[in-house]
Amino acid sequence: MRKNRKMPKKMSVMAGRSVQIGALIITCFAMVILNMLASSSCKQLENTIGEKKRQIDSLEDSYKREKANWEKMLTPANLEQALLRHGLAMKFPKTEQVVRMDAAGRPYPGQRSVARATQRNKAAQSAKYTPVANPVRRMAAPRTRR
């Protein structure tokens, strides 16, 4: 038959406390490990964000430089020089010469040049007028230094 072996009360309390302390130590250790993992992943994210910010800043700087260069090229004096360099004799259009068109290729209504063109077209059709092409004025070639 089995003997009734009871643990003394002091021993059972110590065993219960040691299990609780062990669980607390293991929980603390797990929390420290998780904290280190989270910290390292946050550091990596901070580094990649910093790199991307530096890339954005450098791209913005180059964009500003190129935009300034483009605006410098679009000044009337530089445009005329470029046209002369390529041998083109062109002038800027007058405001009534510019016709704005929509995506379908039709001019927007109410423009002065469109109204004039329609009037000319009606007059040409009614009088059976055939317009004569204007002779092209040739500009002198730009002088080159020797």
Could you read off the pLDDT of 45-78 as tens digits, one per residue?
Answer: 999 999 999 999 999 999 999 999 999 998 888 9
108 contacts 100 by C-beta, under 8 angstroms? yes
95 contacts 88 by C-beta, under 8 angstroms? no
Can you give the residue ranges of every domain in the chain? 14-88
CA 39 to chain centre: 33
Q: How many angstroms separate the CA atoms of 37 and 49, rounded?
A: 18
Q: How many angstroms separate the CA atoms of 110 and 87, rounded?
A: 36
Q: What is the pLDDT of residues 28-50, one digit of tens each?
A: 999 999 999 999 999 999 999 99
Q: What's the pLDDT at 55?
A: 97
Question: What is the reported pTM?
Answer: 0.42
User: Where is mean pLDDT largest: 16-30, 39-53, 75-89, 106-120?
Assistant: 39-53
